[in-house]
Amino acid sequence: MAKRGYHHGNLRQALVDAALTLIEAKGPTGFTLSEAAKTAGVTPAAVYRHFEGREDLIAEIARQGYEVFADLLEYAYEKGLPSDREAFEATGRAYLAFARKYPGHYVAMFESGVSIQRTPELYQVSSRALGVLEKSAAKLSEHIPADRRPPPQMFAAHIWAMSHGVVELFARNSPGSKSPFPPEDLLETGIGIYLRGLGLIPADE
């Protein structure tokens, strides 16, 4: 049975998929490479043909996650245009949607402790994702008077932090962090308050 794995069309991806299942069930440090191999239906020795260790396997999951994440952010941004504000708000919602739909990837990306600089490929794609937020923030910040305009990188980091906080506290079924409001509403109103404070939303809107 185990030898079947040597003939998989894509053993590397089979191991990634197996590890994703384990991450969702046990967290990024709750499984071994042997368990990933068993879940994929291969021998533990086969894993080392593709990955040096568990962190390399998790880094590949994170890389694939960032690819999807960056594509999702870009799609949301483009869909919100031509309104710079709607495009910016859409990227925040896309963050929450990604965390809901791809929990294993999300954990590998943000909760595994694996550095985005572990591989050039991981760093490149994570930078592409952040670049979408910064581009969106830069365009929106042009509507703010220069003397009150935060740097686009700070602007993007604020929304990233707000989105991440809503996901971690209220969209992941974390114990002791119940909210009477849906995570989507918390994020939407939070972004609205932030943008209103910068004068990007009229006070009566």
- pLDDT tens by residue, the chain, 205 residues: 334 444 445 888 888 999 999 998 888 888 888 888 888 888 888 787 888 888 888 999 999 999 999 999 999 999 999 999 889 889 888 988 898 899 999 999 998 888 898 899 999 999 999 899 889 988 988 888 888 888 888 888 888 888 888 888 876 665 445 667 888 888 888 888 888 888 877 666 6
pLDDT at 125: 93
Please report, for residues 15, 140, 153, 156, 167, the alpha-carbon distance to residue 32 in angstroms, rounded to integers and kept in the order given.
12, 45, 38, 36, 27
Give the Cα-Cα-Cα angle 30, 35, 40 (nearest 5 degrees).
130
Output the six-digit token pair for 58.
Answer: 């998790």
Report whether the peptide linkage leading into residue 150 is cis, meaning its omega lies within 30 degrees of zero: no
Determine the topology of domain 57-197 in CATH. Answer: Tetracycline Repressor; domain 2 (1.10.357)
pLDDT at 53: 82
CB 96 within 8 A of CB 167: yes
pTM (predicted TM-score): 0.84
Which sequence spans correspond to the domains of the chain? 1-51, 57-197
pLDDT at 2: 38
CB 198 within 8 A of CB 85: no
CATH number of 1-51: 1.10.10
- Burial class for 75, CB neighbours closer than 10 Å (0-12, 13-18, 19+): middle
CB neighbour list of residue 172: distance below 8 Å, 6 or more residues apart: 99, 103
Report d(CA 167, CA 162) in Å as an integer: 9
pLDDT at 70: 95
Q: Determine the angle formed by the axes of helices 84-101 and 183-197, rounding to 10 degrees.
A: 150
